[in-house]
Amino acid sequence: MSIEPIRVLVVDDSALMRNLVSKIIEGAPDLAVAGTAMNGEFALQKIPRVKPDVLVLDLEMPKMNGIEFLRARREGKIDVPVIILSSIAREGAEVTMEALALGASDFILKPSGSVSHDIHVVGDQLVTMLRAYGGQYRRRHGKSLPEAPEDYALRDPEMAEGSATAGAQAPEAGRSKSPLGGQFASPKAAGQAPAAGQPGPAGPLEIIALGISTGGPNALRKVLAGIDGNLAVPILIVQHMPPGFTTEFAASLNRITSLEVREAADGDLVKPGRIFIAPGNYHMEIEKRSLAAVIRLHQDDPCNGHRPSAGVLFRSVAKSYGNRAMGVIMTGMGRDGAFEIGEIYRAGGMTVGQDEASSVVYGMPRVAWENGFVRRQVSLQEMAETINTLVKELV
């Protein structure tokens, strides 16, 4: 018996957009359009009937807009994941962050306004998110998943064609259970990854670098809400996000933790109790000086198909801090940071990865794990406490 495709409900007031988005969905063999709706009110009526696994939601709609729909969804305890697809996101990052705070899973920008004839430009990214969030919903409800392209979690729709890392396969690696909980990977590397080697002991911890992508907005909210308010080290975060959104994203995270969360600026002092989010379209590195460490931002070429890149951050932290650094790699499509976290590992630093079961997309953390660069692999639910515990043990 064939397995039913992931069912998608498309909610947009434009008939043209509903049609164009539906064509993108129908072009993927493991996805299907469960139905369409012209506003949030009709969407609420259709959800019980068409039983979608995931929604694509416009924000600008008459009668009941996207924000109003998300409020009603929360009140009705509807747990179907929602991906925001709207032009207002480009004009109002604050509205997009409000949507995420109300429970939307992620967002994609329409390329050219409310009615985007060129919506196909973000087609691959949309399909990737629908597979990820719709698949996660199906697994959560004990439903089988249709067959997706075998390596889709390792693909990255933002990766430049012909890039040095595009299309490479991650090798297998051994792994063993840790007596402390979670899993440990045994060192093994091949292909692009340099030999992991046996790392030395971790030194006194001075900094945490975290890389995350698809599934990141909600995962970071969960992790930062659980981080100790007296954390003795700074945290630098690369979340793949377009320019103009990281300021509001940092502000939204700042409201859920007693630590100071801000969008990084060039020259910012790196101090304990501060959490820095890399700005969209800027790489973030760290410069260690005799009296202080400062943030350095630049727009060099994308790394692993991204700017900002987790790989750039991990490499910089490994160079400046060696075994006094912790690298954390979490849910995300592709491989960004997966090999560069190995530089922290080889220097003797602590490395932590998110496990497959709790990742929206087990791409970035999978490659790092299979190459033996992750000392400890834990669930999203355990991540904050793991970080808190390791900081106390290593500081």
- Residue 388's region, left for phi above 0, alpha for psi from -120 to 50, else beta, is alpha
Residue 238 and residue 222: Cα distance in Å, rounded? 16
| Model confidence pLDDT, tens digit, residues 82-93 | 999 877 666 678
**What per-residue confidence (pLDDT) applies to 239?**
96
Torsion, Cα of 197, 380, 217, 368 (10° steps): 20
What's the pTM value of the predicted model, to 2 decimals? 0.85
**What per-residue confidence (pLDDT) applies to 168?**
30
120 catalytic residue (yes or no): no
240 catalytic residue (yes or no): yes
Q: What is the mean pLDDT of residues 19-48?
A: 96
Res 245 pLDDT > 70: yes
213 catalytic residue (yes or no): yes
Those residues with Cβ within 8 angstroms of residue 59's Cβ, 6 or more apart along the chain or in another chain: 65, 66, 67, 84, 86, 88, 89, 95, 96, 99
- Whether 6-149 and 175-394 share one fold: the answer is yes
CATH code at 175-394 = 3.40.50.180
**What per-residue confidence (pLDDT) applies to 112?**
65
**What per-residue confidence (pLDDT) applies to 81?**
97
**What per-residue confidence (pLDDT) applies to 243?**
86
Q: What is the mean pLDDT of residues 332-347?
A: 95
Q: Which of 13, 240, 268, 309 is catalytic?
A: 240
Res 169 pLDDT > 50: no
Going from the C-alpha of 338 to that of each of 60, 84, 341, the distances in angstroms are 37, 28, 6
Q: Which of 213, 309, 316, 358 is catalytic?
A: 213
**What per-residue confidence (pLDDT) applies to 89?**
62
Residue 356 near residue 177, CB atoms below 8 Å: no
Residue 87 and residue 109: Cα distance in Å, rounded? 6
Mean pLDDT rounded to a whole number for the chain? 86
| Model confidence pLDDT, tens digit, residues 349-375 | 999 999 999 999 999 999 999 999 999
CB atoms within 10 A of CB 293: 19
| Model confidence pLDDT, tens digit, residues 118-145 | 788 888 889 999 999 999 999 999 888 8
- Residue 372's region, left for phi above 0, alpha for psi from -120 to 50, else beta, is left
Map out the domains of the chain as residue ranges: 6-149, 175-394
Residue 125 near residue 158, CB atoms below 8 Å: yes
| Fold adopted by 6-149 | Rossmann fold (3.40.50)
Whether the CA torsion 97, 283, 333, 377 is positive or negative: it is: negative
**What per-residue confidence (pLDDT) applies to 159?**
56
Q: Which of 58, 106, 336, 355 is catalytic?
A: 336
